[in-house]
Each structure stands twice: as C-alpha cells, then as structure tokens.
Chain A
C-alpha cells in the first residue's frame, strides 16, 4: 500500500491541460524532492521530472512539476495522443518503512 496518493485516472482532449496530484506526508514529500515517471503501455518507466520541477534532457517543456508542502503535482499542457500513459510520483521517505516510495499511479487518457 503506497503512502503517496494519486487519482487513478485523468483525461483530456488534445491540446488541453491536465494536472495530476500526488499527496504525501511530512516524512516523504514534506522533506524530500519529488520525481515523476511516465510509463507508456508495455514499456519500462522513464524519468519525466526530477527534483520537483526539473526536466531531463529530451523531455518536452509541456511537462512541468511543482511541489508545495506535502503535495506535488504534474501538469501536461498541450496534451498529445502520445502522452497517453501511466504516471507515477515518487520520493524518498524518512520513515522506517523504506527509503523510496512510489505513488499509486494515474492513468492519463487522451480523448
């Protein structure tokens, strides 16, 4: 059972803006930076955002991340059909349960 909560699904039409939330606690998001991963159907996850709001080389600037307190969010602006995927937030957790925790995951559907 994940300690980071995400909505199970989100959707939008091409060109729209979609936002995914990630809710945690003081021991994880509240005290560590957040990473986001994109998992296209049938493939391995890929780092999308690191350190709350940084994009790795090659990630389009329509993907953006933010963090406030014990929550984080991922925004996809100008939604495209190839953005249809599962998205996971993740961060380190300072509790005894283990160093790294993933969110429950959000399936983004492009209508």
Chain B
C-alpha cells in the first residue's frame, strides 16, 4: 500500500525554525517527484514546494521562497521541508503528496505559529 506520513509539526513562535518530514512507503520513492502543500485553517489549498526525483530541480511558492528549503533522502525514503523565519501566516496543515498528479496525500501535520 502506498503511504505517506508527515510529522514534525507543532506550536512555535514567530521567527523560529521547524523541520517537517514525510516518510514514504509502498512505492519506489526515488522515482517520483514529491511535493508539499499547505492548508491554513478554514482556507483552501496552497502549493508550497516541489522537488524532482534526483533533487536536481526544486521549486517554491513566492510566499516561502528564501525561507523554506525542500530536500529528500532517497536512501531513507524521506522528504523534508526546512522552514526558517516562520511567520504567523505560515500556520497551516502541511501535506506531502506524490508525483505531478499529487497522488496520494499524507494525513498532514499541523504547524501553528503564534506568540
């Protein structure tokens, strides 16, 4: 069964850093582009970042560019999102999703940025 499990979320203060992880299983992780998408409370979906299978290409939304870094470890079947200089407006559930079709999605991990 293809499965994605995110973890690493929590309550943090503005300006601090947080690293999210996404553990993949049930498929050949190293063959797929991977993505991060977030959803603020009561709001719609917002694409955050994507990384190619071999890490050569990385893309970011303007809202996180320069603050967030996407990476992956194909040996560990893991995807990461390093989030620096967090802002209140980064509060959201963060999902990882596979491939250019964003299928499937993990269950999400909540990041709350509040003073």
Chain A residues near B (Cβ < 8 Å): 2, 35, 37, 39, 44-47, 50, 56, 86, 88, 90, 92, 97-105
Contacts and interface: CB of A to CB of B under 8 A. Distances in A.
Given A37-B45, A44-B95, A45-B45, A50 B101 contact: yes
B101 A35 contact: yes
A104 B44 contact: yes
Interface residues of B, number: 22
A45 B97 CA distance: 10
A39 B37 CA distance: 13
Contacts of B45: 37, 39, 45, 88, 90, 102, 105
A102 B103 contact: no
A105 B45 CA distance: 8
Contacts of A90: 45, 47, 102
Given A46-B105, A98-B59, A102-B37, 7 more contacts: A37-B45, A39-B45, A46-B104, A47-B101, A98-B62, A100-B35, A103-B44
Nearest to A86: B44
Contacts of B101: 35, 47, 50
B46 interface: yes
A50 B104 CA distance: 12
Contacts of B46: 102
A31 B61 CA distance: 20
Interface string B101-115: 111111110000000
Contact of A37 (B35, B60, B102): B102
Contacts of B50: 99-100
Given A98-B60, A98-B61, A100-B35, A47 B104 contact: yes
A44 B97 CA distance: 10
Interface in B59-115: 59-62, 95, 97, 100-108
Interface string B28-43: 0000000101000000
A86 B105 CA distance: 15
Contacts of B62: 97-98
